[in-house]
Amino acid sequence: MFDTKQLHSELEFQFALSGGPGGQHVNKTETKVIITWYPLSSAVFSETQKNRIQEKLASRINAEGQLKLSLAKTRSQLQNKKLAVAKLEDLLAKALHKPKKRIKTRPSRASKLKRLQKKKQHSDKKQLRKKPKL
């Protein structure tokens, strides 16, 4: 779909202290990964793809035109880095995916008759519940 190696070269990585449980380990090591990527200046995608990415991921792109993604799932920096890159690739793949166009269909004659028959049965059932008119 797109060249992941070229995409990886465009990514900027930052590392920070991650919160949560872990005691001294969390206080000393920077395991949280923050990926910064500029989708509009990317050489990986065509202009139409860039526009689609900007449209679909508009809520994730800030005013400077950067897409920031942070991850602090594990206690390993390398593992978090791999997970963050995979998450970014997944986001881009979903943004570039075009859904199939829906083909309009009409209900068949048999399905219409079946629906009307059920409707009539339901109506009859309701009529039987009423008090008889004397």
Domain boundaries defined on the chain: 4-96
CA 22/CA 59 separation, integer angstroms: 32
CA 44/CA 95 separation, integer angstroms: 14
pLDDT number for residue 93 = 93
pLDDT number for residue 127 = 94
CA 35/CA 15 separation, integer angstroms: 9
CA 69/CA 75 separation, integer angstroms: 17
83-121 tens-digit pLDDT = 999 999 999 999 999 889 999 999 999 999 999 999 999
On the question of pLDDT at 134 being above 90, the answer is: no
Tokens of 40: 């509009």
44-75 tens-digit pLDDT = 899 999 999 999 999 999 999 999 999 999 88
pLDDT number for residue 22 = 74
On the question of pLDDT at 20 being above 80, the answer is: no
pLDDT number for residue 4 = 86
Q: Which CATH architecture has domain 4-96?
A: 2-Layer Sandwich (3.30)
